[in-house]
Structure 1
Amino acid sequence: MCSRSCSRWIGVSLYPLVLTSIICNIVLFFPGWDVKYAKEGHITQEVQYFGGIVGGGLMMLIPAIYFHLAAENGCCGIRSGMFLPILLAAAGAAGGVYSFVVALLGVYNGPFCGVFGGIWTRPFQKSYFIYLINHTLWAICSEPENVVQFNTGLFCTLMATSCVQVLLCAIQMLNGLVGCLRGACNNKAFYHVNYNPNIFIAFLCFVL
């Protein structure tokens, strides 16, 4: 697969993964599908690290847009033009790793829940994942309802999503390296005439 086609494919593939990461992180703020826990501060600490929104979301969205637009505008594979995609792919991979680590900690430490007696704590924090296979322990959390399944399911989704994101960014880094060494544009003049990097810079300024 040539550099241009590969970049377009990676950029488009990242969009649904970015959306999934952001949605999962947002939903985690509403355990039991109720806003009162967020208002009362009864939210798992890792949710507030915004791993899905920042790491798997914004840090991945900017590279995805660049890969897609650069390929659509004619060429992304000339030697000098592929250096920036390598840096953006590396930044996206770092965001994916951040999202994965935060989600892993979220699963490892377990949910923040109300136990019998009205005490709010993290009863599985030092269980070393044992609670995941011993479902009888889940009854310890009386509030929010089904919070263990809720917490584990969304964090595991974030982990799976971030793994795919990091893999795609690694492919793009390799793709960019190939473009730097070989070049992959059949018509370099087309790139200089039609692809204006100022458009992308203006878009970043608008987003930020």
Structure 2
Amino acid sequence: MCCSVGFARSLGLALVPLSLCCIVANLLLLFPMGEVTYLQQGRLATFIWYFGGLGGGGLLMLIPAVVFITLGKCSCCWNESLMMCGSVLAAVVGLVGSAYCFVISGFALMQGPPCFTSFGWSNPFADQGGRYLLQPETWSRCLQPVHIVEWNVTLLCVLLGLAVLEFIICLLQLGNGLVNAVCRPCCYKQEYSLNA
């Protein structure tokens, strides 16, 4: 059988924990240092509200995960070519979701977190183009929330890494689905000639 359904299912199983980790990381960004106060006061970075991890890398990624895992299990409902088209479309959805997560996390990382400095509440790193990431000695400018820069940098880097892994997995399934869509007719011709 040309179609590697087992390969697609293993990719789907790999996507589930990645998407759940994206959701958790995005939720943690909403509660700096585990506190609700800054969420209630609206003191979070703008890009956090775009929900790159919750939406793109999380909930949206569950669509291809479910499709890949259930591939071939419902043969009564799907013929094999439709099944492969479904997996290719699901892979495209996954690529879009992971790309969205990556872009939003990247912009949030470049912008830096808003925090309370000696000049009041501001976003002291917004105009630096991400240079603050290479200057950890400047992070102490943020007095509250304590260690907010480390919190944001860590979680956003985790989201970036997870988004890259999700993108690679969906790209693998996209290739798998397209190759099998092309190879399947050849397999049928070979089977027909052997049976004849």
Normalising TM by the smaller chain, what interval? 0.7 to 0.9
Q: Which amino acid aligns with 1:112?
A: P
Question: What's the TM-score once normalised by structure 2's chain length?
Answer: 0.88
Between the two proteins, what is the percent identity of the paired residues? 33
Q: Which amino acid aligns with 1:114?
A: F
Number of aligned residues: 184
What is the distance in 1 between the residues matched to 2:97 and 2:121? 31
Is 2:56–2:97's contact at 8 Å kept on the other side of the alignment?
Answer: yes
Cα pair distance change 1:3/1:40, threshold 3 Å: same
1:65 alignment counterpart: 66
Question: What's the TM-score once normalised by structure 1's chain length?
Answer: 0.83
Cα deviation for residue 127 of structure 1 reads 1.2
Cα deviation for residue 128 of structure 1 reads 2.1
Is 1:79–1:181's contact at 8 Å kept on the other side of the alignment?
Answer: no
2:24 alignment counterpart: 23
**Any gaps of 5 or more consecutive residues in structure 1?**
187-208
Which of 110, 113, 123 aligns to 1:111? It is: 113
What is the distance in 1 between the residues matched to 2:14 and 2:182? 25
Please state whether the residue corresponding to 1:114 is helix, strand or coil.
strand
Larger Rg: 2
Alignment of 1:39 onto 2:56: no
Per-residue Cα deviation, 1:78-112 (whole angstroms, up to 9, x for no partner): 33320111111101100100000000011100011
Is 2:115–2:144's contact at 8 Å kept on the other side of the alignment?
Answer: yes
2:96 alignment counterpart: 94
2:155 alignment counterpart: 154
2:181 alignment counterpart: 180
**Any gaps of 5 or more consecutive residues in structure 2?**
188-196
Moved segments of 4+, more than 3 Å:
71-77
Q: Which amino acid aligns with 1:86?
A: V
Per-residue Cα deviation, 1:2-30 (whole angstroms, up to 9, x for no partner): 52011111100001100010000000001
